[in-house]
Structure 1
């Protein structure tokens, strides 16, 4: 401070200038924060053989203990060989790293041991200002999320928790999670797939340019020099705006499948039974874009537009293993919450038996999401609810039922006149077959004319039997008690089966305090072979099918089976 006062220094960080004043003169000079950055050569550790049209990962030695550094390929190597070095950032651990090298020729090349393939530079500090939280935006979200809470004391308690983690609710700028496992793209040893940009209109090209510039500005993508190139295109949203998607079909064909399991939706919904009275649903904001991609694999995500070639810094939609990779990250970080929280990709549901317990659960979960720098999508979140929509079901303490909005969309469908429309109607209804006893038998006339081979599609005819089935199915959506209860472990389950030449099925129930409660319905159309079964064989088939399809409900329980065939 004495030095600054003595020479009357004025430091302008924004313009990167220093001004010195004395009695009769003023001197201004610029400074460069990168002027003294130190570069470290990256040398091959061993001799490397590079086959034609292949990408290999070569081990290199860098005289840095551990750091994430920028990488610049060697101009000498570029002049002496046609090799293409793909990285612009590398991670060094214990003075070792890996560089991706592509051989675009039809000849093999050998890279000698000890050759410098490029230089690395440790990033320097920058003068970028930290982005402040948009408190006005966050306050608005928190007010809407707590508006339904009638008790003022409870509402204040919830607000205090949310304000403590207000960064989670600031959607003014995207965030990327930290300290999570980056997405890896493991590929077979094939040449990098390439494509030309898709043809587009000038208006769409301008929209594409704006979207790309926004992604660049937020650091979600970067310019690329990769031999990979997948075409990007625009898809219209419901509101008339555009969304960019990338056609990764060629890359996906050479990507090794990630076998991390996705949760079973039926099992997830069943977990929510058991006396839980408070529910919260948390939706992640552009969930995939919050997961980083492994530095060595970013070049594989390269996509091409009319303006240039770019690659993703974050997990892109359309990649083969995006869902299991995202599920793994969320399951790993939320392991401490597994007793009261379930994750289905980017949807999280929290369930508790009391308000006080739910407060504790929400606080613990938000703390974990904050720790890893995740971001929520507040307009799609629901907190401290007695009834909640999750995975297209309405879930409460007593049981679950279909989402009313989806039922209305099916009810509003006009009667099919083509094969495509008939399949669309059946596809929409099949989601609710577990709520409708004998669904398969009712829908059999429609199944009969939709289950056609390619050669027989021209024989599609919508006649009186299909018309009656259509009306009956829609009537079931209106009049049937489309509500299923959670099983009670204190009572046996009752399986009632039925079978005919048309279809087989069964209804699983429990009798509790004299009232019969539906747990699950299952039915299917009989095949041409099964239609030739004797009645006793059909009844036995119905029981066997129900045991297979209802296994999660039946295991470990006392079972009573009702069938209308006496010999069984």
Structure 2
């Protein structure tokens, strides 16, 4: 996480616009199980060292955190009555911020998100396609400086605000889609040329690799180094 670099604010910025009748809410911290306090401490130290959060003491918005188990599938165990019952496997713990109050007072965006079924339908007619995976993509987009204090959260180790957008904020995924669609013509052209038919795979393989490199260069040009993996 220490090598995550943000994109330029001039290219894309996440804004938290409030409703006209909103009232700032300062919520107290929630009691944490002593077993998971180290999880909170380690996570916040990691975020501080990477520059994604910073300490703050005078925010008009404060949201609490809670820790939830990471889901790792299902198993069966014996209960007190010696009967097998399904039980969820816990592989670790995840720190979450309860932004319900903030999100409720945030103006809802209307940018159209993609329909998954339509995307899959377009892909289904191709024998091969190139899959680009995002690495901490949401953390690449900066939050507008005037809105950062609204992301303040409280924990046993202090109050902190985010410099980068996180997925639990209202309109977070819409902002990410806006950023990805900022140069839609170029991106769409690359996507179309990535598809390779089975009968021509041998003589088009090198061309497709070239297009992939060009697509990655496009992201490097806007400061998304380390975001995309093939």
Greater C-alpha Rg: 1
Q: Secondary structure at the match of 1:236?
A: strand
Retained in 2: the 8 A contact 1:292–1:313?
A: yes
**CA displacement 1:9-50 (0-9 Å, x = unmatched):** xxxxxxxxxxxxxxxxxxxxxxxxxxxxxxxxxxxxxxxxxx
CA deviations on 1:313-345 (whole Å, 9 max, x unpaired) are 000121111111111101114530213428xxx
Higher RCO structure, 1 or 2 (CA under 8 Å, sep 6+) = 2
Number of residue-to-residue matches in the alignment:
202
What is the distance in 1 between the residues matched to 2:18 and 2:96?
21
Please report how far the alpha carbon of residue 192 of structure 1 lies from its aligned counterpart in structure 2 after TM superposition: 0.8
The question of 1:206 aligning with 2:206 is answered: no
TM-superposed deviation, 1:172: 6.4
Alignment partner, residue 246 of structure 1: 97
Contact 1:316 1:322 in 2 (8 A): yes
SS of the counterpart of 1:341? helix
C-alpha contact 2:139 2:165 (8 A) present in aligned 1: yes
What CA distance in whole angstroms lies between the structure 1 residues aligned with 2:5 and 2:196?
29
Deviates more, 1:171-180 or 1:320-329: 171-180
**1:283 matched to 2:113:** no
Tell me how large the CA RMSD over aligned residues is: 2.2
Return 249-258 or 355-364, whichever deviates more: 355-364
Query: Is 1:173 paired with 2:23?
Result: no
Structure 1 residue ranges (4+ consecutive) displaced by more than 6 angstroms after TM superposition: none
CA distance in 1, matches of 2:7, 2:142: 7
Of 124, 128, 147, the residue aligned with 1:297 is: 147
More strand by share: 1
State whether residues 152 and 162 of structure 2, in contact with CA within 8 Å, keep that contact through their aligned partners in structure 1. Answer: yes
Partner residue of 1:361 out of 176, 191, 211:
211
What's the secondary structure of 1:197's corresponding residue?
coil
Alignment of 1:351 with 2:195, yes or no, is: yes
Distance 1:243 1:351, change over 3 A: farther
Structure 2 residue 24 is matched with structure 1 residue 192: yes
Change (3 A) 1:339 1:352: farther
Matches within 5 A, 1:121-160: none
Q: Is the 8 A contact 2:61 2:152 kept in 1?
A: yes
Q: 1:371 aligns with which of 196, 199, 221?
A: 221
Q: 1:316 to 1:180 in 2, by over 3 A?
A: same
- CA deviations on 1:141-170 (whole Å, 9 max, x unpaired) are xxxxxxxxxxxxxxxxxxxxxxxxxxxxxx
**Where in structure 1 are there 5+ consecutive unaligned residues?**
1-170, 343-348, 382-568
CA distance in 2, matches of 1:257, 1:212: 29
Distance 1:228 1:333 in 2: 34
CA spacing shift, 1:277–1:359, aligned 2, 3 Å: farther
What are the equivalent positions in structure 2 for 1:350-499 lying under 5 Å apart? 350-353=194-197, 354-374=204-224, 375-376=226-227, 378=229, 381=230
